[in-house]
Amino acid sequence: MAERLARDDRVVRFRTGSTTVEVAIEENTPTTRDFLSMLPMTLPFEECGGRKKVTTLR
């Protein structure tokens, strides 16, 4: 799951299982604004080749 934090709309929290990572988004571009506007979102990941996980933004 990815979500913006209430205290700062440019910090994004990514969660999977018991692991959480917070990332500060520094760029202010149309692409980053579009991404931030889609949050919160939950993405289904699939196994790919037994070594990585992949998903598609919808």
> What is the pLDDT, as a whole number, of residue 28?
84
Contact between 20 and 14 (Cβ < 8 Å) = yes
User: Is residue 17 helix, strand or coil?
Assistant: coil
Distances (CA, A) of 40 to 10, 47, 50, 52: 13, 23, 28, 23
Query: pLDDT tens digits, the chain, 58 residues: what are they?
Result: 666 655 566 788 888 889 999 898 888 899 988 988 888 888 898 999 988 999 987 7
